[in-house]
Amino acid sequence: MLQSFVFMSIIEATIRNTKTKGDINSLRIKGDIPAIIYGGSEKNQKISLRKKNVKNLIEKENFLSNIISINLDGKSENVLPKELAWDPITDEPIHIDFLRIVKGSTVVLEIPVKFINNDKSPGLKRGGVLNIVRRKVELKCPAENIPKELIVDLDNLDIGSSIKISSIKLPENVVPTIQGRDFVVATVAAPTIIKEPEKPAEETTEEGAEGVSESAEGEAKAAEGEKEGEKKETVKEADKKEADKKEDKKTPAEKK
């Protein structure tokens, strides 16, 4: 189990002196985003950032858990994005709150979990399923030692394996906010296969036999009907012949 640390992004900022909503709207029309830096012993600082630069940072993974270095009038200040507001219509970022990172302070963050070497897990190779219980883990971290992500190596993990927080190596002085139990982050579970129930052989045989019986009965009735028809036809022909004979025996006077 491994863990990695933050690669710090750098962004340029400008001090802003906006006082009204109109001033802020004008700022946004020019392509800037208003923001504020707070925390620590220093006073809150109003700043503005180029929207293009902000969107580039947002597109990166884990924006809200990465430390950013803001270059403000030649002075660098490390901050952590804490809240990002969006326009409900355009879906564009419109404001950011940054927490000032002060050495010796601690912050609480949700750090994402990343899984690697899926193809080297015997359990997954045999059809097992990676059941992710927590995609992020909330950690209490020193401001100067915040991990970017927690990496879990699935190499050699078989079906039934359970990855708990204790099996993930955390940076020094970094602890989970959940204390008192060794909670599960993920497991390698057995495959779940749903099969359609098969019909018992007896039922199939009985149904088949019943079908054959009904078919044979139908054929027998049809044959019986044909014979009855032939019998009736034969009787009619015999009656006709008998009538013709009687007609021939009559005298001319009788025929009249």
Give per-residue pLDDT as tens, 123-158.
999 999 999 999 999 999 988 788 888 999 999 999
Q: Quick one: pLDDT at residue 3?
A: 39
Domains of the chain by residue range? 7-102, 107-189
7-102 and 107-189 share one fold: no
Torsion 144-150-155-158 (CA) sign = positive
Which overall architecture, per CATH, does domain 7-102 show?
A: Beta Barrel (2.40)
Q: Quick one: pLDDT at residue 230?
A: 54
Looking at per-residue confidence, does 182 or 249 come out higher? Answer: 182
Element (H, E) at 151: strand 147-153
Q: Quick one: pLDDT at residue 209?
A: 46
Tell me the C-alpha distance between 79 and 21, whole Å.
25
pLDDT for residue 56 is more than 50: yes
pLDDT for residue 240 is more than 60: no
For the sheet with 129-132, list strands across it: 129-132, 184-189, 162-164
To the nearest whole number, what is the mean pLDDT of the chain?
A: 81
Q: Quick one: pLDDT at residue 5?
A: 42
Tell me the C-alpha distance between 177 and 82, whole Å.
18
| The pair of three-digit structure tokens given for residue 166, joined into one six-digit string | 């204790």
Most confident of 86-100, 183-197, 208-222: 86-100
pLDDT for residue 102 is more than 60: yes
Q: Quick one: pLDDT at residue 9?
A: 83
Contact 70, 56 (CB under 8 A): no
Q: What are phi and psi of 134, to 5 degrees?
A: -135, 115
40: left (phi over 0), alpha (psi -120 to 50) or beta: left
**How confident is the model over 8-43, as pLDDT tens digits?**
688 999 999 999 999 999 999 999 999 999 988 889
pLDDT for residue 228 is more than 80: no
Options 3.40.50.20, 3.10.450.50, 3.40.50.300, 2.170.120.20; CATH for 107-189 is: 2.170.120.20
Straight-line distance from the first to the last Cα atom of the chain, in angstroms, rounded to the nearest whole number: 125
Query: Residues of the chain with pLDDT > 70: what percent?
Result: 71
pLDDT for residue 207 is more than 90: no
- Least reliable range by pLDDT among 1-5, 78-82, 142-146: 1-5
